[in-house]
Amino acid sequence: MRITQGAFSFLPDLTDEQIQKQIEFSISKGWAISIEWTDDPHPRNAYWDMWGLPLFDCKDAGAVMYELNECRKLNPEGYIKIQAFDASIGTESCVLAFMVSRPASEPGFYLARTEGPGRLQRYAISSYTVEAKPSGCRY
Q: Which of 18, 32, 49, 103 binds another protein (CB under 8 A)?
A: 18
Q: Which of 56, 110, 136, 137 binds another protein (CB under 8 A)?
A: 110
Beta sheet of 49-50, edge-to-edge order: 49-50, 32-38, 79-86, 93-101
Q: Which of 9, 36, 63, 103 binds another protein (CB under 8 A)?
A: 9
Angle between helix 61-74 and helix 16-28 axes, rounded to 10 deg: 130
Scanning 1-9, 49-57, 58-66, 68-76 for contacts with another protein by CB under 8 A, the matching segment is 1-9
* Distances, alpha carbon 43 to alpha carbons 4, 48, 77, 108, 115, in Å: 10, 11, 18, 11, 23
Phi-psi region of 52 (alpha: psi -120 to 50; beta: other; left: phi over 0): left
Q: Which of 13, 16, 30, 43 binds another protein (CB under 8 A)?
A: 43
Report 51-90 residues binding another protein (CB under 8 A).
83-84, 89-90
Q: How many residues bind another protein (CB under 8 A)?
A: 41
DSSP state of 118: T
Q: Does 41 bind another protein (CB under 8 A)?
A: yes
Q: Does 38 bind another protein (CB under 8 A)?
A: no
